[in-house]
Amino acid sequence: MPREVMRNIYRIPVPLPNNPLRELNCYLIRGKDRSLLIDTGFRQETCRRALFDGLRELNVRMEDTDILLTHLHSDHTGLLPEVASATSRVFIDDLDRDWIVGSTRFELERQEDARFAMAGIPPEMLRIASQTHPGRCFAPDPSFDRYTRLSAGDVLEVGGYRLEVLRTPGHTPSHLCLWMAEQQVMFTGDHVLFDITPNITRWPNLENALGCYLRSLKQVREYDVKTALPAHRATGDSHARVDALLRHHAYRLEECLKVVREEPGLLPFEIAGRMTWRIRAKNWEDFPIPQKWFAVGECLSHLDLLRLEGQVREELADGRLYYYPN
């Protein structure tokens, strides 16, 4: 059920069935004339029921409510076409919008699948991963295309608050955070999570996703955040968590480089299988296929940064990418 986290700001928990994220923290900022809903949940019945029940309990009129999407992932965007009214403005940045609108989405997904094939994911595994990926199965109706672009520095005023838009690419091509300077509150979306690590993958429309993410972490580290409102699970000390995430990726880069140096000429799929992951599986072979997809994507983003730093090189042979130390 909804809980008021501060004056006029409510958290609506939306369960995410069979997903390690467990639930989404939707936020509703109640305004005098118009309100703002931040994120929506999967296009799935359990999510639909929780979100609509929460909005009903808060007596929210969607005719008087706008929607902000922190980023493209379907646990944040899936229910958008159902919850938005004809008068709702829907805010998102353009690079993420391209992943949920039919005119561009399917070409980007095709490019993404091609990159994973080059990374060495076996064809049948790639087919299953693509067809069962929650980001695709529970994505919003691609025919919905009524979005308003937000850019860094834009300000939304609602509920007596001023929310400054921060563009924090990395987790997705144009992830957004919101900063309330007077209250020292930041809505962090999936950019900063406190007991799980945001997945950083390779994107067809974002060069060097990990490098972007690390810069974005350092960007939000400069803000004097007293209260962080993340999109999943509990909150915590924002500065300490950013420092921990920076250390985590420094370790990941070292681990990835170590594998390449010890076994030159591996595919990213093979490199990922030699890295350590916090998952309940005995070995790489036992990983669920969706988790292999995420692990390979994470491996690719780290290889990209290592390549740009000149520490590794990639060589294309027979349509696949092999990595060697420099």
Which residue is listed with tokens 């059920």? 1
**Among 152, 172, 282, which residue's Cα sits nearest to residue 220?**
152
Listed in sequence order, the residues at least 6 apart from 274 whose beta carbon sits closer than 8 Å to its beta carbon are 259, 263, 266, 284
The two counts, helices (H) then strands (E), for the chain are: 11, 14
pLDDT at 69: 99
Tokens coding 38: 């931040």
Tokens coding 283: 């070995």
Q: How far apart are CA 158 and CA 8, in angstroms?
A: 9
Q: Which uninterrupted H or E stretch holds 239? A: helix 238-262
Tokens coding 132: 């069962």
Q: How far apart are CA 119 and CA 147, in angstroms?
A: 34
Burial class of residue 259 (count of CB atoms within 10 Å of its CB; 0-12, 13-18, 19+): buried
On whether the CB atoms of residues 40 and 79 are closer than 8 A, the answer is yes
Q: Has domain 3-100+138-238 been given CATH number 3.60.15.10?
A: yes
| Cα–chain center distance at 106 | 18
Which residue is listed with tokens 């993958």? 201
Q: How far apart are CA 272 and CA 267, in angstroms?
A: 9
Q: What is the pLDDT of residues 118-155, one digit of tens each?
A: 999 999 999 999 999 899 999 999 999 999 999 999 99
Q: What is the pLDDT of residues 252-286, one digit of tens each?
A: 999 999 999 999 999 999 999 999 998 777 788 88
CATH 3.60.15.10: which residues of the chain? Answer: 3-100+138-238
* Residue ranges, the chain, pLDDT below 70: none
Q: How far apart are CA 141 and CA 80, in angstroms?
A: 8
